[in-house]
Amino acid sequence: MQSSGSASSKRERDRRYNKRRPFSHTWYKQPEWCHPISGRRALQLKAEPNCRMCAKAGIVKPGRNVDHIERHGGDPVKFWQGALQTLCDHHHNSVKQSMERKPRLTIGSDGWPV
């Protein structure tokens, strides 16, 4: 049984969390992305139904997550036209997320980090 304040405190946490999310997060709710037949997500899953990272390891595992290979960072061109890959939950929620959290180095024209 839930305590009387838990549902309202969860709603408050969700509200604060959603307030901090970038506007681009709403793009995942657009029909161009999530339509079950013609959205980018559906088309990607049809073209590549198995996890790409599992396949590199010689494992055949269905994927559920459509991932932007290059982080879009709120750029609409990268979001709507960027290359995609299919990933299983494990690779999307742990491996890929940890890769994206690593600090990125900017490389100068001389080939050395700036």
Spatial contact of 86 and 67, defined as CB atoms under 8 Å apart: yes
- Domain limits of the chain? 24-101
Judge whether 66 and 86 are in contact, CB under 8 Å.
yes
Is this model's pTM higher than 0.75 or not? Answer: no
Calpha distance 107→113 (Å, rounded): 4
Rounded CA-CA distance 29/113 in Å is 37
List average pLDDT for each run of 10 residues in the chain, which is 114 residues long.
64 68 80 95 98 96 95 91 95 80 62 61
Strand-pairing partners, residue 84, are 68
Quote the distance between the C-alpha of residue 23 and its chain's center. 14
